[in-house]
A and B are shown apart, each in its own frame.
Chain A
Amino acid sequence: MMAKKIFKYVIILLGCAGILSSFVYSAGAQSDSQAQALFYKANESFQQGNYEQSEKIYQEILAAGLHSGSIYYNLGNAFFKQGQLGRAIVNYERAQRLLPQDSDVQANLQYALSLCNNSVVPLKQFWLISILKSIARHLPLDSWTMLLSGVYFLVLLFLAWFMLSKIIVLKKIAISLSCLLVLVSCLWLVKFQQIRLDKKAIIIVSEIDSRFAPAEDAVVHFKAYEGASIDIIDQNNAWVRIKTPDGKIGWVPESAIEKL
């Protein structure tokens, strides 16, 4: 009798949680008619082959402080058609962060990368980090946040339910959900680190000498090519210290890169 009563409360609580969550989660999305209008105008320019014009309009939307995966994707296409592979890759990468499952974004990014003169063999990472990174890549950060919040809610719900009803199955479910919570937390942290803490950038000039010191006459260490993904590890006035995926470190002018 008591268990039935508790079950009734749980159902009510789940319903409330669903309504509240949908209200909170949908609050981030915005509709802006002006941005929409600009987007269609930019698309029109693109269709007419006026890639430079369309690029400027897409940039105008971004300058207004709004973004979406589609804007970055279309902007990447505009750059690609102008022959600016580096900038196209930058925008495809940005689009991929917002639309990680979008096959169009992936295809264009892969195609743009294949046209670049890059054959860097990245350094091997610890296997666990590699696995977590490959899983985390499949969802955007907000989706991981939602998932984490959902699992957290379920863990608390099942723990409370077990406490009140003493049904052993609920305890087992709560423990399993706790393990899932730990895993999702790790994935969320990996994604958070990728998006918010990593200082990723792309080389946007066709070829740049990476030097031992932040000076034009310093010794050249290696050459970096357009489209190469690099990490920024330091900055000195108009120079940035970069690290390539194969572990090489050098200084390049800031104008030669674009941060993601």
Chain B
Amino acid sequence: MKNKNFKYYDIRLVVWTMAFICLLAVPIFAKDMTFGVSLDRDHVEVGDMVQAGLVFENTQSVPALQLPEIPGLKTQYIGPSTQMTNVNGQMSSSVTHRYRIVPMQTGTFTLGPFSFSYNNDNYSSAAVDLVVMDRGQAPLQSSTNSSPARQNDDIDGRMFVTLSSQKTKVYINEPFEITVKMYINQLSVRGIDYPIVNAQGLVLEPFGQPRQYREQLAGKLHDVVEFKTIAYASQQGDLTLGPAKMNAKVITRQKERSGFLGSDFFDDFGDMFGRANIIPMNVSSPELSLNVLPFPDKDKPKEFSGAVGSFKLEVSAAPLELKAGDPITLKMTINGSGNFDSVQSPVLSSLSGFKTYNSEAQETTDNAKVFEQVIIPQKTDIKNLPTVKFGFFDPQQQAYRTETSQPIGLKVLPSDEKVAVIIDTAKQAPTNTSTRVLGQDIIYIKENIGKLRPRGAFLYKDKKFRILNIFWLFLFLAAYFFQLRKERLTHDIGYARKLRAPKVARIKIQKAKQYLAQNRTELFYEQIFKTLQEYLGHRFNRPSAGMTAEVIEELIDAHGLDHQVAEKLKDCFTQCDMARYATADLDQNKMRNTLFMLEQAIDYLETFKK
């Protein structure tokens, strides 16, 4: 069952893939077919083989043609080779029917022009010349096993870029077309980037999709990739356009072309078997000179604001019947051809009785720009909208032109409400009208200087302020750690006893020292014994009464106590036991020694971590 599903999925995948490929192929075959002839070399020696190709662009279904007999040349059909290319996402396809030509005598032979009919259309190619020389005279044209440096030298002459301009004399802001072409002769080129054109003082629109075709140049057939764009000059005077720089990757082969099968059969697998070299190329065009002319001063209309081109003005407005004080939206559309970036809003004349707002550019397309402006009629006696004028410079006619709108009728009705007219008293005198007049002016100056501060001084920059805020944080952290310790002392009895142990021992040792000073042997040893028991009990969280010399061994095993210290503790216990039975044998020196041993042992245990 699982296997069956897999097969169904497999078939469905193939069908969808084929459908997708067919969809991709539709635009390729929809293009116009072109036809050309090419030679792999145009200079050969007698008896050498040269390969000719009849190239059919934008198709892959044209059958092979029978070449006509040319005296002095032997021709033989080799076979077709098809190609699909993708330049910046644009697909194209071609088929080349290859012929082997062997010249039998010296001279210049012309191949073509060839013509043929296909699908009721006639096609014809240009002609190419083949120069045949004696043996040892023909220049070396290609070497497939050459070094990379040599390959680059070969490529340089076979791939170049040109830059051309529609005009060399233009006006400021006048749009003109510039064209960048990359010519490729007998090279496999991939990854062609959009050109980068040096255009100081010019504004270039982005380049459009490139066009691909073939062009005969100096007797050689070249593949051409053509890019076009529109440019505008923003400065007057002599400007330099270019160079145009283009990056591409040239793929060269390492194998002998006239090998087994004598065709490019394995070329398509070149990349796969690592026999191809990819050489990145940066090709530049020569520069162009442009002369940018200023606008003439003669007959310059006052409405002119820098627009260049050929334009028409259309004006519409809504509503055309309204009350005084209501807004009208004026829509002004500039149509035509030219630099729409330079098109400013048209000018309204005779604005008396209207309150106006600034116009706003609403939308710009390739051949139109729309402005909208709000105007408000203030009086009821207004019968027409203001006339709209648009001045521009027409570079074709080399003259200024002014477009003027047709009069648009307007019906202004009296307003329902009494309008409170705001008047700047600083500029206008009071009027004696029936409407209520509100004066308006700025509010008077302040008499108090207010809070003076150094300019640029802000509280967040103040050191004292920062320290105060950090101080609160430290205070909080202190409270936090205090609470943490308090909670541990409450919940961890072992920890609490451990902290208490040295304090208790210190008090008891003081007492023992007093007994020592008074030479009260029994009381001294009793105190030492209690100190030892209580200290060890607290220190190791055990019952104090159970702490004896025998327990020391247990502590060595449980906590890894130092043996010397353990011995000292045992000695202290032993001395205390002896004092109970033979007090006379214990003099002050022995008592001091016992006290010293006890203090040493406690010091050690306080530094002991376990």
Determine if A104 and B464 form an interchain contact, defined as CB atoms under 8 angstroms apart. no
Q: What A residues does B358 contact at CB under 8 A?
A: 117-120, 225
Q: How far is the CA of A35 from the CA of B454 in the complex (A)?
A: 12
A236 interfacial by beta-carbon distance below 8 Å? no
Q: If the complex has contacts A28-B453, A120-B358, A212-B234, are A145 and B445 also in contact, measured as CB distance less than 8 A?
A: no
Determine if B341 and A73 form an interchain contact, defined as CB atoms under 8 angstroms apart. no
A122 interfacial by beta-carbon distance below 8 Å? no
Q: If the complex has contacts A111-B442, A142-B458, A219-B342, are A35 and B449 also in contact, measured as CB distance less than 8 A?
A: yes
Determine if B465 and A149 form an interchain contact, defined as CB atoms under 8 angstroms apart. yes
Task: Mark interface residues in B471-495 (1 if CB within 8 Å of A CB, else 0).
Answer: 0110110011001000000000000
A183 interfacial by beta-carbon distance below 8 Å? no
A156 interfacial by beta-carbon distance below 8 Å? yes
Determine if A30 and B454 form an interchain contact, defined as CB atoms under 8 angstroms apart. yes
B381 interfacial by beta-carbon distance below 8 Å? no
Determine if A66 and B455 form an interchain contact, defined as CB atoms under 8 angstroms apart. yes
Q: How far is the CA of A73 from the CA of B232 in the complex (A)?
A: 47
Determine if B450 and A27 form an interchain contact, defined as CB atoms under 8 angstroms apart. no
- Chain B proximity of A82: nearest CB distance (Å): 11
Please choose the segment from A130-138, A159-167, A252-260 that sits at the chain B interface, where 4 or more of its residues have CB less than 8 A away: A159-167
Q: How far is the CA of A210 from the CA of B469 in the complex (A)?
A: 47
Q: How far is the CA of A2 from the CA of B306 in the complex (A)?
A: 84
Q: What A residues does B305 contact at CB under 8 A?
A: 220
- Chain B proximity of A46: nearest CB distance (Å): 5
B507 interfacial by beta-carbon distance below 8 Å? no
Q: Tell me which of A28, A66, A141 contacts B462 (CB under 8 A).
A: A28
Q: What A residues does B339 contact at CB under 8 A?
A: 219
Determine if B468 and A163 form an interchain contact, defined as CB atoms under 8 angstroms apart. no
Task: Mark interface residues in A17-43 (1 if CB within 8 Å of B CB, else 0).
Answer: 100110111011111100110010001
Q: How far is the CA of A222 from the CA of B342 in the complex (A)?
A: 9
Determine if B459 and A25 form an interchain contact, defined as CB atoms under 8 angstroms apart. yes
User: Total contacts A to B, CB within 8 angstroms?
Assistant: 151
Q: What B residues does A35 contact at CB under 8 A?
A: 449, 452
Determine if A24 and B173 form an interchain contact, defined as CB atoms under 8 angstroms apart. no
Q: Tell me which of A27, A66, A196, A222 contacts B464 (CB under 8 A).
A: A27
Determine if A145 and B458 form an interchain contact, defined as CB atoms under 8 angstroms apart. yes
Determine if A112 and B442 form an interchain contact, defined as CB atoms under 8 angstroms apart. yes
Q: What B residues does A156 contact at CB under 8 A?
A: 472-473, 475-476
Q: How far is the CA of A36 from the CA of B452 in the complex (A)?
A: 9
Q: What B residues does A28 contact at CB under 8 A?
A: 453, 457, 459, 462
A121 interfacial by beta-carbon distance below 8 Å? yes
Determine if A219 and B454 form an interchain contact, defined as CB atoms under 8 angstroms apart. no
Q: What B residues does A66 contact at CB under 8 A?
A: 452-455
Determine if A70 and B448 form an interchain contact, defined as CB atoms under 8 angstroms apart. yes
- Chain A proximity of B348: nearest CB distance (Å): 13
- Chain B proximity of A21: nearest CB distance (Å): 7
Q: If the complex has contacts A29-B452, A46-B445, A160-B480, are A220 and B342 also in contact, measured as CB distance less than 8 A?
A: yes
Q: How far is the CA of A236 from the CA of B390 in the complex (A)?
A: 33
B585 interfacial by beta-carbon distance below 8 Å? no
Q: Which of A56-89 contact B (CB under 8 A)?
A: 62, 65-71, 73-74, 77, 80-81
Determine if A77 and B442 form an interchain contact, defined as CB atoms under 8 angstroms apart. yes
Q: Which residue of B lies closest to A23 (CB)?
A: B464
Q: How far is the CA of A71 from the CA of B450 in the complex (A)?
A: 8
Q: How far is the CA of A215 from the CA of B357 in the complex (A)?
A: 29
Q: How far is the CA of A98 from the CA of B446 in the complex (A)?
A: 14
Q: How far is the CA of A207 from the CA of B460 in the complex (A)?
A: 39
Determine if B235 and A218 form an interchain contact, defined as CB atoms under 8 angstroms apart. yes
- Chain A proximity of B454: nearest CB distance (Å): 6
Q: If the complex has contacts A219-B342, A220-B306, are A163 and B455 also in contact, measured as CB distance less than 8 A?
A: no
Determine if A119 and B357 form an interchain contact, defined as CB atoms under 8 angstroms apart. yes
Residues of B within 8 A of A (CB): 172-173, 203, 232, 234-236, 305-306, 339, 341-342, 344, 357-358, 360, 374, 424, 426, 440-455, 457-460, 462, 464-465, 468-469, 472-473, 475-476, 479-480, 483
- What are 26 inter-chain pairs, A to B, with CB distance below 8 A? A24-B464, A24-B468, A28-B453, A28-B457, A30-B453, A31-B452, A39-B449, A43-B445, A66-B453, A67-B452, A68-B453, A70-B449, A77-B444, A80-B442, A99-B450, A112-B442, A141-B460, A145-B460, A149-B469, A153-B469, A153-B472, A163-B483, A192-B460, A212-B234, A217-B234, A218-B235
Known interface pairs A68-B449, A68-B450; 16 further A-B residue pairs with C-beta atoms within 8 A, sorted by A's residue number? A24-B462, A25-B459, A25-B465, A29-B451, A30-B454, A66-B452, A66-B455, A69-B451, A70-B450, A73-B446, A108-B443, A119-B358, A157-B472, A217-B172, A218-B234, A219-B203
Residues of A within 8 A of B (CB): 13, 17, 20-21, 23-25, 27-32, 35-36, 39, 43, 46, 62, 65-71, 73-74, 77, 80-81, 98-99, 104, 107-108, 111-112, 115, 117-121, 141-142, 145-146, 149, 152-153, 156-157, 159-160, 163-164, 192, 196, 212-213, 215, 217-223, 225, 246
